[in-house]
A and B are shown apart, each in its own frame.
Chain A
Amino acid sequence: MSTTFSMASFSPLTPISTTHSSSHCKPHHHNTLSTLTLRPKNHPFFTLSPLRVSAGTSDSPETAVKQPPENISVGTNGSASAVTVPEEIKVSNGFVDPRWVAGTWDLMQFRKNGTTDWDAVIDAEARRRKWLETNPESSSNDSPVVFDTSIVPWWAWIKRFHLPEAELLNGRAAMIGFFMTYLVDSLTGVGLVDQMNNFFCKTLLFVAVGGVLLIRKNEDVDTFKKLLEETTFYDKQWQATWQDENSSNSNK
């Protein structure tokens, strides 16, 4: 009886499991019913998750929505039968890299010419995070992640992410600054040296430098516009009640 029930209740899942290896998956379904534990339930789902993603978006929302109700029905129908977790399904191996030791990057393995190769650390961490995004890992108290990006010194970040752009930004800032000075000079007759003593011109200088730093691409302008809208959106939602009152008052 239990087998027929399990097959019936899990039928929405079979499109996924058959495309995988059915011989591998079926035992899990039986486990799911008989044990009612957490692991078997999400285990088949998660081992299949990369497959589900790659299988196309058309069927994934459907399976994603349908799958949990099965869990619920299983949980409520046979909550009396609790059995210990089967030992054989221990597959959540997690992220494996020889340099990833005890929850952090083993910096000794990143030694190059007597110093730590921080670029390689950044690369490795980027790869790990990318991997985790597609294969979320359960957090464990026994093996905590202790790696902190702040152990990579600031100059390593600057060297890697700012310097390639710095030339461009410096050039741009110099050009804009030069033309603004020229413009102010031609309009007001205030020379370069005098401009440096002028509060307005100093402000302009900061605006120019700040603008160059913030707006690096044309899309950045749109991003900032959107940000501004976003920050005021919540205010508008709250003020709706009061606008209502104001309009009704003015009608009177």
Chain B
Amino acid sequence: MTSIALKSFLGLRQSSPETTHFSYRPKLTTHRRKFTVVAGVSSPKLNGRNLRVAVIGGGPAGGAAAETLAKGGVETFLIERKMDNCKPCGGAIPLCMVGEFDLPLDIIDRRVTKMKMISPSNVAVDIGRTLKPHEYIGMVRREVLDDYLRNRAKDNGANIINGLFLKMDIPKEKNSPYVLHYSSYDGKTGGVGEKCTLEVDAVIGADGANSRVAKSIDAGDYEYAIAFQERIKIPDNKMAYYEDLAEMYVGDDVSPDFYGWVFPKCDHVAVGTGTVTHKGDIKKFQLATRKRAEDKILGGKIIRVEAHPIPEHPRPRRLSGRVALVGDAAGYVTKCSGEGIYFAAKSGRMCAEEIVKGSANGKRMVEEGDLRKYLEKWDKTYWPTYKVLDILQKVFYRSNPAREAFVEMCADEYVQKMTFDSYLYKTVVPGNPLDDIKLAINTIGSLVRANALRREMDKLNV
């Protein structure tokens, strides 16, 4: 059933000549090599072999890390259990990711150019009017994206292992290898895997929220949100509405601390919601989300139900020895928007770059200090983004009146421009101070009004 649906959609995918992107690549690597030779002078040289690094997990973080490592001359092993895993995931990627990771345009299923925010009292606000013609939010399917990134890593020389990572032995002496235990499923169809071991010099843990790598380095736990999502196939006439539009519902009924969403997928919509504080009630929130969107998804059929944990903050320890965590395993998901794909891929690449640099293109041993540089750089680059989104979530997802004010605020074109710019390009461009002040006053006005109404509501029927 689904296969038919998918096939019909193939016509919608763009067959783009974008593959020529690859021609840029050699130039990039030579450039990178030039300045990496300087680093890693202190560490011992490796004799007769290159640095061996294992990447656990083949998602965006693992794929990006493996590609960068392989290109940097490191002997790379990527271990992934399920090659066609379609992880339950919103699947939104910002525009800058397409350029930064040279993604071919045909893996983007849909280009969302309109967002609708719907407040608890059903005030709907269109966001995205400020978008320029070439700007959009890409919607991808994770199985497509992950597969593409993994294959690119493979093309660059990474060894892709179909296996389940079990545990690793942490070496007692300095510079001796980590021993990974995994069951290999290569060349097999089902059944029990074959127990294998692998010796590597460094490990990148990109194995998601339930990371085994994190467990084995005692990285500690993080608070997580649970996201619940139903993929619903809706009639064509209803689907036309969601052609290039995504919806966000806010309200206590939908989620006490997050939002409910309707995202367009290749040939269906994903309806879901998430929460940290009331995980037990997630099904109730899901029903409420469906109820709020009912008018637009009427007659739809649920084709798939999925739930997954979303990290709320980084793990207490993201690095230990020559083991570093990236992506969801480290906990790099933003608050407020719940975005993770871009940050995962970016952190994987950043970590790999530091390893390549620290090992002088795989010629030398790396040490903890080299990996620390990745953390340092990461926190410096992205901490402000995470903090701003945390503040936004705390201010505007706090209560229904705050959400009403949030939606009112989003109707402002200046806000939309700022939000989209920072989302699509991941850079915060300082705005016009006069507009900023106007915005602050308007926002406070909205908050005051909504809270005043709230007080009136509390007085009713008491």
Contacts and interface: CB of A to CB of B under 8 A. Distances in A.
Contact of B387 (A65, A160, A235): A235
Interface stretch (B115-123, B180-188, B189-197): B115-123
B291 A72 contact: no
A64 B222 CA distance: 26
Nearest to A127: B460
Given A133-B252, A136-B292, A139-B292, A244 B298 contact: no
Interface stretch (A77-85, A106-114, A166-174, A177-185): A77-85
A207 interface: no
B302 A72 contact: yes
B232 A65 contact: no
B283 A147 contact: no
B273 to A, nearest CB: 12
Contact of B290 (A42, A140, A157, A160): A42
A3 interface: no
B6 interface: no
A46 B292 CA distance: 11
Nearest to A135: B253
Contacts, number: 173
Contacts of A39: 294, 298-299
Contact of B283 (A46, A68, A129): A68
Contacts of B455: 161
A133 B301 contact: no
* Interface size class of chain B, counting residues whose CB lies under 8 Å from the partner chain: 35 or more
Interface residues of A, number: 61
B34 to A, nearest CB: 30
Interface in A123-152: 123, 125-130, 132-133, 136-142, 144-150, 152
Nearest to A142: B295
B32 interface: no
Nearest to A46: B291
Contact of B122 (A80, A145, A157): A145
Interface stretch (B64-72, B147-155, B207-215, B446-454): B446-454
Interface of B: 1, 118, 120-124, 220, 222, 232, 241, 249, 251-254, 280-281, 283-284, 286-288, 290-303, 305, 313-319, 335, 372, 375, 379, 383, 386-387, 390-391, 394, 400, 404, 408, 445-446, 448-450, 452-453, 455-457, 460-461
A147 B375 CA distance: 48
A234 B121 contact: no
A148 B410 CA distance: 13
A116 interface: no
A1 B126 CA distance: 47
A137 B122 contact: yes
A241 interface: yes
